[in-house]
Structure 1
Amino acid sequence: MSKESKFLSLVLRHKPEEIGLQVDKHGWVDVDQLLRKMKKANRKLSREELVQIVEANEKKRFTLSEDGLKIRAALVA
C-alpha cells in the first residue's frame, strides 16, 4: 500500500481532524475539500491520483460516490 493510500486510510477512517476534515454522519467527505486539506498538510494529490488509488487498492478500502464528488473509507461487512 502506498504512503498516500495509508494517509487516506488514516484521515478517512481514524483521524480526520489530523488535517481538519469534516466527515458527515455516513463517513463521506467532499473530494475537493479532501484534496485542499491534503495540500495544506503537504500531501499534494491530484483528483486523478486519488481515483487511481481508489481503483487500484486491492482491499477496496475506499469508496467514491457515483458522481465522484465524495469519498469515504469503505464500510466493513
Structure 2
Amino acid sequence: MNKRLTRISKYLTYIMRHEPHSIGIKPDDEGYFVVTELVEKANASGKSVSVEQVLAVVEEHDKKLFSLSDDGNRIRINSVSSKS
C-alpha cells in the first residue's frame, strides 16, 4: 500500500473505531458505515478521500482490517487479533 493509502487507512481506522461522531456518522447495527456517506463526511471535515481510495484500502490492506458488505456499499472494521 502506498503512503497515501496508508494515511487513509489510519484515518478510517481512527474514525470508525473511536470518533465516528466527530464527522457526524454512525455505524448501523452490524457495525457498517455507508461508504459514500463516510467519504462525504470525511471530505466535509477537511479530509480529501474518494470512494475509489477507500475501496483500494480495503483491497490492499495486508491484514484485511476492513471488509465490505456483500453489495459493496458498506464498510466495517474486522476484529483483528493482536497476536502475530
Greater C-alpha radius of gyration? 2
- In the alignment, the residues of structure 2 paired with residue 45 and residue 18 of structure 1 have an alpha-carbon distance, to the nearest angstrom, of 16
Task: Please report how far the alpha carbon of residue 75 of structure 1 lies from its aligned counterpart in structure 2 after TM superposition.
Answer: 2.8
Query: Aligned-pair RMSD on alpha carbons?
Result: 1.5
- How many residues align? The count is 77
**Post-superposition CA distance 1:33-55 (Å, at most 9, x none):** 10100111111211111111111
**Which residue does 2:27 correspond to in 1?**
23
TM-score between both structures, scaled by the size of structure 2:
0.82
1:67 aligns with 2:62: no
- Which segments of structure 1 move beyond 6 Å, counting only runs of 4 or more? none
C-alpha deviation, 1:76, in angstroms: 3.6
In the alignment, the residues of structure 1 paired with residue 69 and residue 79 of structure 2 have an alpha-carbon distance, to the nearest angstrom, of 13
How many angstroms does 1:59 deviate by?
Answer: 1.1
Q: Which residue of 1 aligns with 2:44?
A: 40
Q: Which amino acid aligns with 1:26?
A: E
Contact 1:12 1:27 in 2 (8 A): no
Distance, in Å, in 1 between the alignment partners of 2:77 and 2:22 is 15
Alpha-carbon distance between aligned partners in 2 of 1:75 and 1:65, rounded to the nearest angstrom: 15
Which residue of the partner structure matches residue 7 of structure 1?
A: 11
Structure 1: runs of 5+ lacking an equivalent = none
Letter matched to residue 24 of structure 1: D
Q: Normalised by the size of structure 1, how large is the TM-score?
A: 0.88
Identity over aligned pairs, percent: 35
